[in-house]
Amino acid sequence: IRDPDVLRGSTPEQFAERAGQVMAELNYVHPFREGNGRTQEVFIAELGRHYGHEVDFTVITKPRMIEASIETTNDPSSAAMKHVLEDAVDPNRREALRAALSDLEV
C-alpha cells in the first residue's frame, strides 16, 4: 500500500475496492507454500480494523473465494475480489449472506 492515507476515512465501498486490489496482488505473488488464503484474510481483516472497517470473511464461501482468486489472477482488472470484499465489509450484505447461508444449511 503506497499511500495508506487513502484508506483513512474511506467508505466501506472505497475500502473494499482498495483492499480487493491488495488481496488480488498478494494472491498473485503467493508468498507462502501453504496458508496464503488464511494469511491474506487475517491481514485484510486487521487492515480493515485499523481503518475502521469490520471485515468478516465467514460470509464468503471457500468456492467463491477461490473463484475470485482465480479470476483476479487471470485478469487483474477483474472486480471479483472487490465484490467479495464489499460483501465482507458491508453490514447489510453480511447479514443477508449470513441468512442465505443459514437457509441453505436447513
Residue 27 lies in a domain: yes
| CA contacts within 13 A on the Cβ side of 68 | 23
Containing structural domain, residue 81 = 7-105
Residue 78 lies in a domain: yes
Residue 2 lies in a domain: no
Query: pLDDT higher for 43 or 104?
Result: 43
Domains identified in the chain, total number: 1
| 28 phi, psi to nearest 5 deg | -65, -45
| CA contacts within 13 A on the Cβ side of 79 | 7
For the chain, what is the mean pLDDT? 93
> Does the pLDDT value for residue 71 go beyond 70?
yes
How far apart are the C-alpha atoms of 43 and 25, rounded to whole Å?
Answer: 13
Residue 1 lies in a domain: no
Burial of 44 by CB count in 10 Å (0-12 exposed, 13-18 middle, 19+ buried)? buried
Q: How confident is the model at residue 7 (pLDDT cuts 50, 70, 90)?
A: confident
Residue 93 lies in a domain: yes
Q: What is the pTM of this model?
A: 0.87
Residue 82 confidence (pLDDT): 96
Residue 63 lies in a domain: yes
How far apart are the C-alpha atoms of 9 and 49, rounded to whole Å?
Answer: 12
> Does the pLDDT value for residue 2 go beyond 80?
no
Residue 79 confidence (pLDDT): 96
Residue 34 lies in a domain: yes
Q: How confident is the model at residue 88 (pLDDT cuts 50, 70, 90)?
A: very high
CATH of the domain at 20: 1.10.3290.10
